[in-house]
């Protein structure tokens, strides 16, 4: 376990899954975590983990790259989710560098790991400031591959473990409709006039029964406000999209948390991009370097 501090901010990071186990803002832990690190082996719903090699879903566990088809393990109905049955969230990362306010973790994913081509060398750096946590991702490969890295932290700005009263504003004029298995249809649909319009402030539970698990096309940043505590969080990122998930599938049995106990803003490329040529590319080739960042800032 690595402890980070900066002003009134405190965080704990685990090498297992590169998990953000806790994040305290003025004494309030604003993320869902498991107190016993061993519970991440059996009870985790990706709490705080860095997920990959490909975050989100790939349809039917298949994609074609440079004319060759690759088959992945399926672990979400017919689809491959968050890198497969043994994704990056289930690996022990190495500590490459550490300071009082930051830590860099690295992972080597060998050629053929979970069906993906190329040996991928990935790194994530957590950095605390006096009002934010910043995540910087990098990756390189020795053969053409696809990669999509994100962090799967569940946030709760109230401490009550019910986020349906949180008010969300998202600079996103389009979202990705999905089929019954949560694979994008390929359309980048306008949010105007739909329950997916967060361009003006809307409470999580106000529409759609609060059951969001959709990718939004980002035009700018995101702001979440908890009206009772007055605590807000803004999200800025270099990624083209964000998966907004409101924890509706948490059941209080497999995990200690019940439905709607936390929400995720998983900044990322779009799901199933390897099978959708008109989506932003997630292909990484030798000699290239994946670089992305996300900042969660509190006020």
Catalytic annotation, residues? 152, 266
The two three-digit tokens of residue 198, written as one number: 């967060």
CB 75 within 8 A of CB 86: no
Burial degree of 179 (CB within 10 A; 0-12, 13-18, 19+): exposed
CB 118 within 8 A of CB 142: yes
What lies within 8 Å, CB to CB, of 298 at 6+ separation is 9, 25, 30, 131, 132, 231, 232, 233
Strand 68-71 vs strand 62-65: parallel, antiparallel, or unpaired?
Answer: antiparallel
Residues pairing with 6 in the sheet: 9
Question: How far is the C-alpha of 15 from the C-alpha of 18, rounded, in Å?
Answer: 5
By three-state DSSP, how is residue 49 classified? coil
How is 5-44 classified by DSSP, letter by letter?
EETTEEEEE-SBTT-EEEEEETTEE-B---SSGGGGGTT-
Question: How far is the C-alpha of 140 from the C-alpha of 220, rounded, in Å?
Answer: 27
Residues pairing with 132 in the sheet: 297
């Amino acid at each position: 376990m690595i402890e980070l501090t900066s002003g009134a901010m405190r965080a704990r990071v685990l090498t297992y899954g590169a998990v953000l186990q806790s994040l305290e803002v003025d004494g309030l832990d604003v993320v869902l975590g498991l107190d016993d690190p061993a519970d991440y082996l059996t009870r985790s719903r990706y709490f705080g983990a860095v997920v990959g090699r490909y975050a989100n879903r790939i349809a039917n566990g298949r994609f074609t790259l440079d004319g060759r088809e690759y088959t992945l393990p399926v672990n979400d109905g017919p689809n491959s989710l968050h890198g497969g049955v043994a994704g990056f969230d289930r690996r022990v990362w190495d500590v490459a560098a550490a300071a009082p306010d930051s830590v860099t973790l690295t992972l080597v994913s060998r050629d053929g790991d979970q069906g993906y081509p190329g040996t991928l060398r990935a790194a994530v750096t957590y950095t605390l400031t006096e009002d934010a946590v910043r995540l910087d991702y990098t990756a390189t490969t020795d053969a053409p591959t696809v990669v999509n890295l994100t962090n799967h932290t569940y946030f709760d700005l109230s401490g009550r473990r019910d986020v349906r009263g949180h008010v969300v504003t998202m600079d996103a004029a389009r979202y990705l409709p999905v089929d019954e298995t949560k694979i994008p249809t390929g359309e980048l649909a306008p949010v105007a006039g739909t329950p997916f319009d967060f361009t003006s402030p809307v409470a999580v539970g106000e529409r759609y029964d609060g059951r969001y698990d959709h990718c939004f096309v980002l035009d700018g940043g995101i702001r979440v406000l908890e009206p009772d505590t007055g605590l807000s969080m803004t999200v800025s990122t270099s990624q083209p999209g964000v998966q907004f998930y409101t924890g509706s599938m948490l059941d209080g049995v497999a995990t200690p948390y019940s439905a709607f106990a936390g929400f995720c803003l998983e900044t990322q490329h779009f799901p199933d991009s390897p099978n959708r040529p008109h989506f932003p590319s997630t292909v990484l080739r030798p000699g290239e370097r994946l670089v992305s960042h996300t900042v969660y800032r509190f006020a």
